[in-house]
Amino acid sequence: MRKYLFISVLILMGVSLYGLDYNGYRLDLDVNEYAKLNTFERAQYKKAIDLANSRQYRAAASEFEKFKVQFMDSPILPYILFMKGYSLHMQKDRNSAIKVYNEVLDYFGEEIDPASRALFFLGVANFENGDTKQGLEAMAEMAEDEDYSQHPLAAGALDYLANNSWKNDEKEQAVKYWKQIVKDFSQSNSRVATAARDSVINYYVAKRDYTGLDAWGIAPDSTTKQKMGFVNRVDYNAWVGFYYNRGVYEFNQFQKKESNEIKKAFINYYVSKKPVYEQDDDMWTYYYQLLNFLSRIFDDPELMDKTINETITLISKMDNKDTADSRYSAVINRLRDDQKYTQAELLISRMNNQVQAEWQRQIILERQHKWDAAIKKLDLIASMNVKDAQRCADRKGVIYMHYIHNYDLAIKCFRETDNPPANLWQIAECQYRQTDLKGAITTLSEIENSFPDSSANAAWKKVEYYKGADDIKQGIANARRIMKMYPDSSASSKAHQYLEGYGIATGGGVL
């Protein structure tokens, strides 16, 4: 059952582990296995698993060991032994965990579920210990073994191997692993399978191999919905990758030509899929996604103008005026991103809801840094619709505070919003910026005393303001107060570090 495959050491891959959940795969006992336990076994199991769920891993490991000693003939003994190892692993006692995982494999290798778990986390523990060679061996064994390779965690093992191959510039092998994950684990481990699917898509997009992409991703008997769903996923991956310049879409300033060629190839692919959206009668999705890409990622003026005109024609035929306005707004947002303000105004004039239309004009004025005109527009909106009055006041406060730097007018606007504690935070910041430290502290005290969920943060903000005003004495006093009144808060941790920075022990003495 243990067939080791040795692979060269290339890279350590990171994994996040949370409680008893690994990438959506639950590690607690299967309900059918639980049904096999007697009353005493259930009681001991519950004690141990509750400790593991609450992340008291050392205590959990001890209780799993007690289960093993008390119920040596239990049908779930291999699983209990695995959970002892896992608890030690989560306690970061990885060497002890590795010994227990190996014990599961040596004595219960034929028990496929617990042995598969033990083998996978044996690999993870070795990676975390810095032993990449042993980690890869465990993952390769899991991927190659006839029985272990069917376990849902084998998807994670294949992903380790894929990432290792990718980093070693063995990209074809990496893609082969990811395709296997999609093929074998889309149902049993959907989270890892979805990530693998995205990796394959990104590979084909970066290569500009859309024939290969469609041959892999769109089955001959796919429905129109399935085809459109796949194209939407390709669009999402390309947009996110290029917008954030990461992953296989990451290019430096000297690779602009290559980047543009890949973007242009994607646009050509996406436009070629227009008939799919026509067949599904969902042209709005097609146009909006295309506008999103053209306005934020790839500049193609001719295609942009053509797409805008076709989109306007589509919206103008809609009977539902509210939906039409919503879609006009969406297109206006994209035009604004592309600084096409004249075209945006033409669309705004088509909107039925005049209040929404004026909001769009106000946003454009802000984008152009026309602050006085933007404030006048907010006054107009407030006069048109009383329901928007507080929203207008809040936005005026933000403009006065951050762009015009008139803090008295900003405070006046924030008081009109009457949405504490949000407006009180803004008021305190304005008071602090205009050097009214006493007023800022008073406002923070109002937040601390009246809004329990914000109390600790308000107390810490006082420390920050005193520090900014070089009032070390009050800063230290308030930091000590935080540790006493809010010991379990993140503010307490910050206060601890603050005091240590001044050489003061958290108990109050000088170090």
Whether the pLDDT of residue 508 is over 70: the answer is no
Mean pLDDT to the nearest integer, 354-369:
97
DSSP lists the bridge partners of residue 340 as: none
CA 282 – CA 279 distance, rounded (Å): 8
Letter string b/e over residues 81-112, b meaning 16 or more CB atoms within 10 A of that residue's CB: bbbbbbbbbbbebbebbbebbebbbeebbebb
Asked if residue 481 has pLDDT above 80, the reply is yes
Domain end position, chosen among 172, 207, 242: 207
Answer yes or no: is 334 within a domain.
no
Q: Write the CATH number for 496.
A: 1.25.40
Predicted confidence at residue 509, as pLDDT, reads 41
Q: How confident is the model at residue 436 (pLDDT cuts 50, 70, 90)?
A: very high
Domain boundary among 184, 207, 230: 207
pLDDT of residue 153: 96
* Residue 170 backbone dihedrals phi, psi, to 5 degrees: -100, 65
pLDDT at 122: 98
378: in domain: no
Q: How far apart are CA 64 and CA 46, in angstroms?
A: 10
30-34, 178-182, 438-442: segment of lowest average pLDDT: 30-34
Residue 94 falls inside a structural domain: yes
Residue 353 forms part of a structural domain: no
If you average pLDDT over every residue of the chain, what do you get?
Answer: 92
Q: What separation in angstroms does the CA of 393 have from each of 401, 413, 418, 462?
A: 12, 5, 10, 26
Task: List, in order, residues 6 or more apart from 430 with CB less than 8 Å away.
Answer: 401, 407, 410, 411, 414
Condensed to tens digits (0 to 9), the pLDDT of residues 93-150 reads 999 999 999 999 999 999 999 999 999 999 999 999 999 999 999 999 999 999 999 9
Whether 475 maps to a domain, the answer reads: yes
Share of the chain above pLDDT 90, in %: 86
Q: Please compute the mean of the pLDDT values over residues 62-78 and round it to a whole number.
A: 96
Mean pLDDT of 354-380: 97
Over 80: is that where the pLDDT of 253 sits? no
Residue 411 lies in a domain: no
Q: Stretch 443-463: mean pLDDT, rounded?
A: 97
Per-residue pLDDT, averaged over 240-244, amounts to 91
Confidence of residue 254 (pLDDT cuts 50, 70, 90): confident
Torsions phi, psi for 14 (to 5 deg)? -90, 150
Q: Of 26-40, 153-167, 189-203, 207-221, which range is least confident? A: 26-40
Q: Global pTM?
A: 0.79
Q: HSE (CB half, 13 Å, CA atoms) of 173?
A: 12
pLDDT for position 4? 33
Phi/psi of residue 504, each to 5°? -110, 125
Domain of residue 181, CATH code = 1.25.40.10
Q: What is the mean pLDDT of residues 466-480?
A: 95
Q: For a pLDDT cut of 70, what percent of the chain falls above it?
A: 95
* 193-206 tens-digit pLDDT: 999 999 999 999 99
Is 60 exceeded by the pLDDT of residue 456? yes
Indicate the number of domains in the chain.
2
- 371, 338 in Cβ contact below 8 A? no
Contact 59, 90 (CB under 8 A): no
Q: Is the peptide bond before 275 cis (omega within 30 degrees of 0)?
A: no
25-34, 36-45, 265-274: which range is least confident on average?
Answer: 25-34
Report the pLDDT value the prediction gives residue 246, as an integer from 0 to 100: 81
Please say which residue of 157, 181, 207 terminates a domain.
Answer: 207
Can you give the pLDDT at residue 193?
96
- Examine residue 25 and state whether it is found in any structural domain, yes or no: yes
Please, are residues 204 and 212 in contact by the beta-carbon 8 Å criterion?
Answer: yes
pLDDT at 10 over 80: no
Structure confidence at residue 48 as a pLDDT band (50, 70, 90): very high
Q: Per residue in 43-57, is it b (16+ CB within 10 Å) or e — as a string?
A: ebbeebbebbeeebb
Structural domain of 444? 434-511
